Structure 1
Amino acid sequence: MPDARATAHQTARDTVAARMPELSRWTRDIWEFGETAWREYKSAAYYVDLLRREGFTVEEGSAGMPTAFCATWENGDGPTIGGYAEYDGIPGNCQAAEPRKMPRPGLGPHAGGHTDPHSALGMGALGGFLATKAAMQAHDIPGRLKFFGEPAEKVRGSKPIHAAAGYYDDLDAALSFHPFYMAPLCNTVRWDTHCGVGYGVIYEFTCEEPETWMAGGDASPIPASNAAARAPGATDAMVQMYQSAKALREHIMAPGQSWSMNETILSHGQATADNIPAQIAEIMYFIRISEVSEAEHIIRGLDHFAEAAARLCHCSWRRRWVAKSRPGLPNHALAAATYANLETVGAPRWGAEARSFARAIQTELGLEAMEDPFLPMISELMPPKEAEAALRDILPPSQRHFTSDDYTEYCWHAPTVRLYIGRPALSAPEGYTYPAWAMNAMGGHGPCIDPMMETAAQVLALTALDCLTNPALLEEAQAEFKARTGGGIGGTDWLAPLCDYTPPLDARWPEYITTARGEDWVIPTRA
């Protein structure tokens, strides 16, 4: 006779398989919303309604974030297992689920869209938790499930805020999943080298007193005289900041480290081409780096650039925080258990309809359609230690962390695993790089994205059940967590939340609006 663990596992796997039509439909709904950071109104409401219908108690707007939530379901006293959905997309990635480059109906290409895609990340995780719940009910397994809605992941928005507000403190284990996005992290789990620090910051420049620039005794009595030289304004300051940070980048970080600093302009102008200077401009920087001390060093450099740009252009400036996320923390016990479940489930496989869609993309791009158009690695397992070794080959020995994702916030509050499952990615002729729209389109096409989601849901459910039914596993994982943090939350080696700011909700984040012209895509002004 099968043992209790195997029976519960089978119930969970059967549940995922039975609910795949629903999960596929839900995923496509979120994908079609294509909402971006801090503006995921429809997506968050969709999850809240769905979770309540599934029997969860849901707190909307958790930690003061309107598009976040915290959902719980209990089946008696037992461990608390945490997981989450993400559902934000990226501006400028509006792609239809078609094998050709085109925006979704009624929108332009610069609207939001899903790239990773978070639509399938969130529903894959939810599918795993719903399957865990079904097995807990069927086999009277005690415990508590805590499922979060985490908005604005693309700017590392919500998890530092949830963590600082104490939402993760009662977790006994946390499960983090992401679709494959970077070799060798495909169908594997992170081992030692977890994601690093993510700092997001907005520099805002304002030109409040243009009339005082170069003012003299012969100044015009009309502040905006068309015959006078116009004062430099906020756009000038922002451009100076942009150029300074680009030109002096090598001076604000020691060479040898693998890190990145990207910028985006959130707003500029608020003026016409008349003699009125731009009143306000915002530029956001996002820093991905290994250590907190390195991120702080870069921020000091950016502060110097902002001060110089403001002085030069007759503006004032201020810095606003978007994110301060901590680096990750390994947990080998939970990682090993999760990978064992991935071996049981197996890597995802793609059927004839998915391959046909992929071949259509290749033909559209003028390539010869391949018999098997997908990268082999998306259907192959990668043992964690082998993935770790391959990752270390490209990093300096002194660098402890690589890339950035704010799942790392969970790592400091409970044993946490980071799971990667292969998503559809195309094989390429030598020297060829596919355009981004090709992967984005497959993310919205059910036969292409569903195998990844189904595999992730099964692995997450099996791992959650192991944490609930195997006290030895949970004890080992928690002992390792305490050893790495010097005693757990508040321990001697524990890194407290860095979040000392409120959610940046009123920044000029792009969003959808409805006007007399229909649905549009804008960067709105602040109230």
Structure 2
Amino acid sequence: MYTQLSDQIWEFAETRFEEFQSADLLCDALEKEGFTVKKGIAGLETGFVASYGSAHPVIAILGEYDALAGLSQEAHSNSFDPIIKNGNGHGCGHNLLGVGSLAAAIAVKDYMKEHNLAGTVKFFGCPAEESGYGKTFMARDGFFKDVDAAFSWHPATMNAVMNCTANAVIHAHFKFKGRSSHAAASPHLGRSALDAVELMNVGVNYLREHMIDEARIHYAVTNTGGLAPNVVQADAEVTYLIRAPKPYQTKELYDRVVDCARGAALMTQTKVDYEIQGSCHNLIPNLTLEKVMHQYMQEIGATPVTEQDINYAKTIYETLTDEDKRSAALQVGKQGASQLAKRPIADFIAPFSEKETFMGGSTDVADVSWNVPTAQCVTSTWAFGTPFHTWQAVAQGKESYAHNAMLLAGKAIACTAISTLENTELLENAKKELLERLEGEAYVPLIPKELKPPKSKQTVYQTI
């Protein structure tokens, strides 16, 4: 069943906030298993929560199912081969992620039923992880207030328990308004919004010298104001991702980026409007739960891979650049990299390290982790060295080793969740650790109270 569900979601390949078929498929499966499903939570059209049980402890299991634009790709291929030019594809493996978490939730439910175990298991259908921040909207609206512990996982190239933190991020959009004119006959009468965008970007580039090393700022010009060079562009837009290790650092950096926008508008005599469109906090790890999850991963063990799996993974590995291979090697050491280059599927469980690592990217699981003790694992759904968000990741989304790794994650989550339900001391220690890590800070969402998740085009068409 789970393999079929994952492959169907791979076929749907729906991007952020538009995962209607994927969400409905998961909801149907959960309802058939006796879960009570509530759709459209936190204003998210494709978000939902499915519950079984009615008592505490309450365990949350997080599932994602959004794809990425521009990554359409044939399955089982070892070359770039789009199904649809510029179409969508599951380049982050969320077809596997959502279904692996679904398997965990159903396993916990079955165990609770068989052993008459008190508690509640909730599966959160989390849309728009890719720059949509679905979980942030859920956390802001209080959907994790009654949860005692949360679990998730992510496709990767190794089998391991995550003990890392990640950058907080603010996603902001800037719209400049100027005045059009003939660029040759009367340029003095025009006020270029595109000039303002370019000046803002230059200002932010100079800002990079004066921010902390761990911070990141990225931008994309989303509207250049037209294609005619002999017209002064009256409208132009740019979108920014602003990251830093702590939420307050991110907010401070965002304010400085806003000043760059204001300065650009002043220099060009244009007007600028801006808004925060999404955000997430830094990730808070939880050693208490992570150690238990790692213990279960070791006991379960990685699924053996076949020679057919290895041979296909080799063809994927050979498509990677030397830079990709060197980057992957740094994560496992010289000896490990040498072994995995020959057999590029990790069929072992990596040792657990209490030394916390830092991930430069961001995840909306972080907003959950600020509200409730949270643990995650990764499993080897992809060949060693496979970069995230690539055609190679999409191509491997239906492989047998990807399905097996998906179920390994589901088993590890289920076992850890059941231990949390049965062991009051474990749960209390996990909650105590979270409070210690927060050091008295309360969760304050970085997104404004009035911000609503965007409505999909599908909904607009239905309304018309």
Output the TM-score relative to the length of structure 2: 0.85
Pairing 1:498–2:446 present: yes
Query: In structure 2, do the counterparts of structure 1 residues 476 and 365 end up closer, same or farther at CA, with 3 Å as the change threshold?
Result: closer
Within 5 Å, give how 1:406-445 maps onto structure 2.
406-426=364-384, 436-442=390-396, 444-445=397-398
Conserved 8 A contact 1:78-1:142: yes
Superposed displacement of residue 331, structure 1: 2.2
Aligned to 1:285: 240
- The Cα of 1:37 is off from its aligned counterpart by 2.3
What corresponds to 1:351 in structure 2?
Answer: 306
Deviation at 1:56, TM superposition (A): 1.9
Contact (CA 8 Å) 1:349, 1:451: kept in 2 or not?
Answer: no
Give 1:231's match in structure 2, choosing from 182, 187, 190.
190
Paired with 2:27 and 2:230, the residues of 1 have a C-alpha distance of 49
Deviation at 1:180, TM superposition (A): 2.5
Map 1:430-469 → 2, pairs under 5 A: 436-442=390-396, 444-469=397-422
The structure-2 alpha-carbon separation of the partners of 1:277 and 1:111, relative to structure 1 and needing over 3 Å to count, comes to farther
Alpha carbons of structure 1 residues 494 and 225: separation in structure 2 relative to 1, 3 Å: closer
Q: Distance in 2 between matches of 1:27 and 1:40?
A: 14
1:125 and 2:101 matched: yes
SS at match of 2:122: strand
Q: What amino acid sits opposite 2:44 in the alignment?
A: M
Partner residue of 2:18 out of 17, 20, 39 = 39
Find the counterpart in structure 2 of residue 83 from structure 1.
Answer: 61
- Where in structure 2 are there 5+ consecutive unaligned residues? 323-337
Going from structure 1 to structure 2, the CA distance change for 1:225 and 1:239 (only over 3 Å counts) comes to closer
Aligned partner of 1:17 in structure 2 is none
User: Paired residue for 1:49, among 13, 28, 36?
Assistant: 28
2:346 to 373, 378, 387: 378
Alignment of 1:310-325 (within 5 A): 310-325=265-280
Separation (CA, whole Å) in 1 of partners of 2:166 and 2:444: 17
Q: C-alpha displacement at 1:362, in angstroms?
A: 5.6
Sort the Cα spacing of 1:103 and 1:258 in 2 relative to 1 into closer, same or farther, 3 A.
Answer: same
* Alpha-carbon separation, structure 1, partners of 2:399 and 2:252: 45
Residue among 42, 65, 72 paired with 1:94: 72
1:278-334 alpha-carbon deviations (Å, 9 max, x no partner) = 443332211332112321222122112211222344432122212232222232221
Matches within 5 A, 1:329-344: 329-344=284-299
Answer yes or no: is the 8 Å Cα contact 1:84–1:176 preserved in 2: yes
The alignment's TM-score, normalised by the length of structure 1, stands at 0.75
Within the alignment, does 1:68 sit opposite 2:47 as a pair?
Answer: yes
Indicate the residue corresponding to 1:19 in structure 2. none
Contact 1:203/1:319, CA 8 A, preserved across alignment: yes
Relative distance call for 1:512 and 1:59 in structure 2 (3 A) is closer
Q: Deviations over 1:130-189 (max 9, x none)?
A: 1111222222222211111222212151122111111000001111211226xxxx4222
- Structure with higher Rg: it is 1
Inter-partner Cα distance in structure 1 for 2:147 and 2:411: 21
- Letter of the structure 1 residue corresponding to residue 162 of structure 2: R
Query: Could you tell me how far apart the structure 1 residues matched to 2:221 and 2:89 are?
Result: 19
Render the CA deviation track for 1:42-66: whole Å, top value 9, x for unaligned.
3223323332233222222111121
Corresponding residue SS for 2:18: coil
Q: CA deviation at 1:377?
A: 7.3
Query: Residues 225 and 355 of structure 1: is their aligned pair in 2 closer, same or farther, counting only changes over 3 Å?
Result: closer
SS in 2 for 1:383: coil
SS of the residue 2:346 aligns to: helix
CA RMSD of aligned residues (A): 3.4
Per-residue deviation, 1:194: 1.8
Q: How far has the Cα of 1:97 moved from its partner?
A: 0.9
Alpha-carbon contact 1:152-1:158 (below 8 Å) kept: yes
Q: Is the 8 A contact 2:317 2:383 kept in 1?
A: no
> Counterparts of 2:278 and 2:319 in 1: how far apart (Å)?
40
2:203 matched residue in structure 1: 244
CA shift for structure 1 position 201:
1.3
Change over 3 Å in CA distance of 1:470–1:437 after alignment to 2: same
Determine if contact 1:348/1:422 at 8 Å carries over to the other structure.
Answer: no
Q: For residues 368-404 of structure 1, give each alpha carbon's deviation from its aligned partner in whole angstroms, at most 9, with x where no partner exists.
A: xx99767667323223326x26x4xxx7xxxxx7542
Residues 196 and 404 of structure 1 are in contact (CA less than 8 Å); yes or no, is this contact kept in structure 2? yes
**Is structure 2 residue 175 aligned with structure 1 residue 204?**
yes
Moved more, 259-268 or 154-163: 259-268
Amino acid at match of 2:251: E
The aligned counterpart of 1:194 is 165
Distance 1:268 1:47 in 2: 40
SS in 1 for 2:308: helix
Counterpart in the other structure of 2:145: 169
Q: Distance in 2 between matches of 1:290 and 1:274?
A: 41
Cα 1:99–1:374, aligned 2, differ >3 Å: closer, same or farther? Answer: farther
Q: Cα distance 1:371–1:83, how it changes in 2: closer, same or farther (>3 A)?
A: closer
CA deviations 1:198-248 (Å, max 9, x no partner) are 2211112233x446xxxxxxxxxxxx7994437344333323323332344
Partner Cα separation in structure 1 for residue 275 and residue 177 of structure 2: 14
Q: What do the CA deviations read for 1:412-456 (whole angstroms, capped 9, x no partner)?
A: 22211122222322469xxxx9993223311x2231411210100
Question: How far does residue 459 in structure 1 lie from its aligned partner after superposition?
Answer: 0.4
Query: What is the deviation of 1:405?
Result: 1.4
